Amino acid sequence: MNTHPNQEEDFDLYALGVLEADEKQSIDAHLVGCTKCAQKLLEARGRIALLALAAPSVTPSVATKSRLMKQIRESAERSTEAVGQSKPFGELFSRWWAAILVPVSAALVITSAVLWTENRRLDQQLASLRADVEQQREQSRQAREVADLVTARDTMVVPLAAQPGMPKGAAHVMYNPKMGMLMYEGELDPAPAAKSYQLWVVPELGNPISAGVFNPGNDKSTHFMMKLPEGVAPKAFAVTLEPAGGRPQPTGPKVLMGTVS
């Protein structure tokens, strides 16, 4: 077979395995030297594979199958009489079935793609909503902690005074020993290049404990909360100027300092 198949659905029929033996042999011989038709056959096999994945498995009843075959046979006989020629029933059945199967295959593939895209979009929206809910819960939790700390009668306010020769600023620490919580609020000039501010809890015993590293913006204000390790009793709070990112222990000069009374 030196010419291309006459009808495009021949590739789908070939992929389905329903071509007559002589037609299949002709296409086999043609595919040996025709890369264009070989590519069309690969595309047809891909369509059939997608159909197999998208369509649900249904086994027709014996009665349904018999009625369908009878209708196809009668239709084939009428077509043969109308054109005045006879064709093998197998060929007529194959082309009739391809005329139905190919459009249905395409519709199923398109529908599956649309549903997959819609499901993905809904999943993304759901994930975004869950993230928003978690963020709101975290904000609510922080707001409750601030309210509890501020309104508690045993919360102490420790002013932090600017030290001589250091960047200008003022701040205070609200500390509740029973809750083990502290809140820093203050204003400082932005830290110099490659530097950060670091808040320290100076305990009665032991080394200072880092309570947060911060870099004020243009508005100079900073606010954050921290839960202290259990059993820590602060005697003072200090803010030092450290290399960017902070240090495990204070190494720079004191910028703000306040003693627990």
Domain spans of the chain?
9-115, 156-259
CB atoms within 10 A of CB 258: 19
DSSP H or E segment with residue 200: strand 195-203
pTM for this predicted structure: 0.51
The CATH number of domain 156-259, selected from 2.40.30, 1.20.1070, 1.10.760, 2.60.40? 2.60.40
For residue 223, give the amino acid letter.
H
Alpha-carbon gap, residue 93 to 101, rounded angstroms: 12
* pLDDT tens, per residue, the chain with 261 residues: 556 676 777 777 777 676 777 787 887 787 777 878 777 877 777 666 666 555 555 555 666 656 656 666 666 566 555 545 545 545 545 555 555 555 656 666 666 666 667 667 767 877 887 888 888 888 888 788 888 888 899 999 999 999 998 888 889 999 998 888 999 999 999 899 999 999 999 998 899 999 999 999 888 889 898 888 888 889 999 999 999 999 999 999 999 999 998
Q: Are 87 and 6 in contact (CB under 8 A)?
A: no
Query: What is the reported pLDDT for 143?
Result: 81
Tokens 């021949």, located at residue: 10
Query: What is the reported pLDDT for 86?
Result: 47
For residue 172, give the amino acid letter.
H
Beta pairing class for 209-214 and 195-203: antiparallel
Report pLDDT digits (tens) over 20-71.
777 878 877 877 778 787 778 777 776 666 665 555 555 556 666 566 566 6
Q: Are 175 and 155 in contact (CB under 8 A)?
A: yes
